Structure 1
């Protein structure tokens, strides 16, 4: 099926386990090598008699993206990658609209949903570490039309995030200097993001390692400081305790207020799935991805539930500063408010530096996620072939270029229409994460069903979901309920009469996804499939370990070794 000039570009060289796409350059100088790195890798030719899905599976499995992400990159990205403006800033509007109890309930339920989703994704990504990852799973395990809708939905989610985060970074700077035009700061941050992604996946990995480390230290430091302040260890030595849970109270706007918090919670957890998207660019996904998957439990518990519990103790939901109209209004960050209110002078500045780092981190992740997804669109036949241009350094250049081109919208920061433009950009991607997570859980259900129908079991899987198949059913149900609750909130907003503009600002993602699905159905009407039958699903293409019997023996040996160790070791291996 695969045809290639093996004398010039041997498959073992072009698709090596450690440096996919690396081509030996011995006779040229450094500058020539640099220029040549932008040339395309030789294209894989696939048997034209294969179906579109079979072609996509092969191309995704043999994608020439570099496998440069090491274990330390994956671990730190999994721990701190999702800590961003959603937690540091967005939690302020969530606290204001729902109260501290609603904040914890919504984030706890969303956390359970994320736990189930990431474990399902971990099982799939370790088994099939393919280019495009979960976007490719949709067209593989569900249907091409659903895969088309979800892939373009994911592109929209991240491609509009870059300009939003660049503007957020410029607004953060106003904490120190409000006289310099925002466009100047936007230009600086834009060039920084371009520079990071110029170095490909290695640049992304190193930048995220540093960004995530800073964010993790900041959140842990805030939690320790909060415990001291609540207990009366602040400058005023006043015991705060549960004061704000009594006055103004734990809830605001009742059940409807609780429902409004779910979108903010989803936005806060956006990016949790990125460890799955890195599967094709990881040196050893079988070793690194399971650890990254397991650590999601600690990330949810420590960085979200504990820190937001402390925020609820330190800031009341009726604080006017929480009511910032912009999701990037740094003054509305409850983390900054909590520190300021307790008379600590230097730390608000430090926290704003951390928020700036978080903003740039999300912008960096936006380029990574959208560029890889754009490349996978070409491999799946969902976009022009030139979308899939990958150079000899393993960079999806066209995907990066398109993302950075859309990122130029950030210069609207200097426009008087900035708020209106960005409101609608955010509306495009508002519920995208809910669709992505629900689809991941459903793909896991379909994969397990396909294995069962073919008479095969989980004993051949290098890693199995800690939440199991029922966790994926639960995750699918929770995501569906969130969509239903948000429809109610969009149609009947809190404290306002029904309004078409408000509805589409909150729910625009849903009609866009329906449009994308129907567009593909009409485009491919002769090949339309509602969903694949389990017996027809391919459960082998894309595996790095192709000898199933050898893999089973290795897995059985590993399980026997863990079982032979102490209960403490077994506990550690299950959760870490």
Structure 2
């Protein structure tokens, strides 16, 4: 079979399946016809019809069996391309999902640990460098997701662009990251309510309440998830903007505790440590907290399959989300460094999940403002719900995509007629019951170990996204295809992905040094695995898959990479003409407008 005929066959097969399923509603055509033609004659008939529709919504979407003549790689590509997930996410919801997943307890609480270990200058250096490769990652994910808005997205690309064992290891890494984040965030919620002196016997009640809210939101499907994230994100963004404004006022001496503060903490204690080696380790330790804090930025790539118009929604979301996150993070952390010394005893002596150690709370409390610290803690609880909500979304979609790739049992790919990956949602929420460990006196220790599992996972995910982008561009070149057929090009190009991969590699090397030789103590297994647990997990999964499949391929040859299956625009010539017209219109605009559109 020739390459062109194989491509036509796969695309025709996908189009045929999509025509047989109404993906906008999640119902098959037969079911839609039955609902529309059922004209109830009485109120009881109406009630029965609605109840029947509700019950039917949990039934699976029926898809035809894949053509047995397709290769294993082609079957995976077709299965992820025809996934019947709902396409209900709007451009605004996409932006809020990415923003909401990245502004959470990592910023409001985890930054306290970063301030303690890195100092006010170290926290800015760590988060600033992280922001540069986060941008290259987001735009690379945007280019891939716009071209291939398929089920699993960033979980699927490594298998297609690199090779199967790499995809298997990275898919498990990403799934496990979100699987751990749900109970981690709910444990954090339990610790957060301690700020108000909540008795221990009520902790399970708060955890159960938050758990129930997260589960209910995700049972409403992707539309309910998107609406909830819009609300959560707007609250968090408003809080961060308000804190920045308040921080400027307090720094200039305008608070109840009079006196100009300025940059005295930066001048006196910019970095932590007495030697250059200790100061370097302090700065590098910030990257783990930054990776956890920025986790979720890549969700735009995962949500592409459930977006109405990814070609127009994702590029804007990818670019604007970076600027919003960078401005919010850098400005708010600058205010934290100006207002809170890293020697504050409540930072040093507290668990990494202790809301009383949140530098946002300390910055307000230590400058004599009453009431607002409680408001900040309410926002921290909302952040817990938001990140927990994103965890269920990310993990359930990852489980579904992994099943479609044959990595886990096929029943994980169960998608009902409302477009919900039900088995994935149930599995994620079941694992989330670990949150009731909050009743244990060791809840802080539980949080720290869950945090260790999730800490570096994002770095491996981001590395894989940029590596897939590099391989995709290499495949275009090897197959004599042009970037003219791409409706969105990453502004930083392929060199931005090279830069991002290189910086992440350096960070991982530096983190290994810190994990083996921690500051202030002798080398020990406990500190090593709390700092570096993600790498052994990824290597283990990669080696297991290699031994299982006995496939020793390192990279799929660029000329063999499938760069067609999964595209929504199958007429490439018409797409090229449309893109050329859009670029001509943009070229006629003033230079300031072109620069703005390029970066924003």
TM-score of the pair, normalised by structure 2:
0.92
Q: Which runs of 5+ in 2 are unaligned?
A: 1-8, 39-47
Select the residue among 545, 556, 566 that pairs with 1:542. 566
Structure 1 position 422, deviation (Å): 3.7
- Paired residue for 1:297? 322
Q: Is the 8 A contact 2:17 2:82 kept in 1?
A: no
Distance 2:547 2:453 in 1: 23
Residue-pair matches, total: 572
- Paired residue for 2:298? 273
Select the residue among 591, 596, 599 that pairs with 1:567. 591
Do the aligned partners of residues 313 and 3 (structure 1) sit closer, same or farther apart at CA in structure 2, a change above 3 Å counting?
closer
Aligned residue runs from structure 1 range 184-333, under 5 A? 184-252=205-273, 253-333=278-358
- Paired residue for 1:49? 69
Distance 1:39 1:343 in 2: 57
Q: Is the 8 A contact 1:340 1:348 kept in 2?
A: yes
- Paired residue for 2:202? 181
Do the aligned partners of residues 63 and 324 (structure 1) sit closer, same or farther apart at CA in structure 2, a change above 3 Å counting?
farther
Distance 1:423 1:337 in 2: 21
Do the aligned partners of residues 425 and 76 (structure 1) sit closer, same or farther apart at CA in structure 2, a change above 3 Å counting?
closer
Aligned residue runs from structure 1 range 22-421, under 5 A? 23-24=31-32, 25-26=35-36, 27=38, 29-179=49-199, 180-252=201-273, 253-421=278-446
Structure 1 position 325, deviation (Å): 4.3
> Matched residue of 1:365: which SS?
helix
Higher mean displacement: 165-174 or 33-42 = 165-174
Q: Is the 8 A contact 1:15 1:62 kept in 2?
A: no
Distance 1:10 1:124 in 2: 23
- CA deviations over 1:235-272 (Å, ceiling 9, x no partner): 23311100111233344431111111110011110000
Structure 1 position 3, deviation (Å): 13
Structure 1 position 566, deviation (Å): 2.0
Structure 1 position 5, deviation (Å): 13
Structure 1 position 429, deviation (Å): 2.3
RMSD (Å) for aligned C-alpha atoms:
1.9
- Paired residue for 1:458? 483
Q: Is the 8 A contact 1:52 1:380 kept in 2?
A: no
Distance 2:593 2:557 in 1: 41
Structure 1 position 297, deviation (Å): 3.2
Q: Is the 8 A contact 1:490 1:504 kept in 2?
A: yes
- Paired residue for 2:21? 14
- CA deviations over 1:316-345 (Å, ceiling 9, x no partner): 111111125433210111011001111111
Distance 1:19 1:549 in 2: 30
Do the aligned partners of residues 342 and 178 (structure 1) sit closer, same or farther apart at CA in structure 2, a change above 3 Å counting?
same
- Paired residue for 2:450? 425
Structure 1 position 565, deviation (Å): 1.4
- CA deviations over 1:353-389 (Å, ceiling 9, x no partner): 1111111100000000000000001111101000100
Distance 1:2 1:535 in 2: 17
Q: Is the 8 A contact 1:102 1:258 kept in 2?
A: yes
Select the residue among 545, 549, 554 that pairs with 1:524. 549
Distance 1:32 1:437 in 2: 44
- CA deviations over 1:440-496 (Å, ceiling 9, x no partner): 010000000000111111111010001111000001111111111111011001111
Higher helix share: 2
Distance 1:324 1:271 in 2: 29
Structure 1 position 296, deviation (Å): 3.1
Structure 1 position 192, deviation (Å): 0.6
Structure 1 position 419, deviation (Å): 3.6
Q: Which runs of 5+ in 1 are unaligned?
A: none
Q: Is the 8 A contact 2:88 2:223 kept in 1?
A: yes
TM-score of the pair, normalised by structure 1:
0.96
> Matched residue of 1:86: which SS?
helix
Do the aligned partners of residues 294 and 241 (structure 1) sit closer, same or farther apart at CA in structure 2, a change above 3 Å counting?
same
Distance 1:143 1:33 in 2: 42
Structure 1 position 234, deviation (Å): 1.2
Q: Is the 8 A contact 1:21 1:64 kept in 2?
A: no
Distance 2:252 2:510 in 1: 37
Structure 1 position 523, deviation (Å): 1.0
Higher mean displacement: 68-77 or 158-167 = 68-77
> Matched residue of 2:152: which SS?
coil
Q: Is the 8 A contact 1:311 1:338 kept in 2?
A: yes
Structure 1 position 531, deviation (Å): 1.1
Q: Is the 8 A contact 1:324 1:331 kept in 2?
A: no
Higher mean displacement: 80-89 or 395-404 = 80-89
- Paired residue for 1:444? 469
Select the residue among 526, 532, 536 that pairs with 1:501. 526
Q: Is the 8 A contact 2:26 2:61 kept in 1?
A: no
Structure 1 position 10, deviation (Å): 7.4
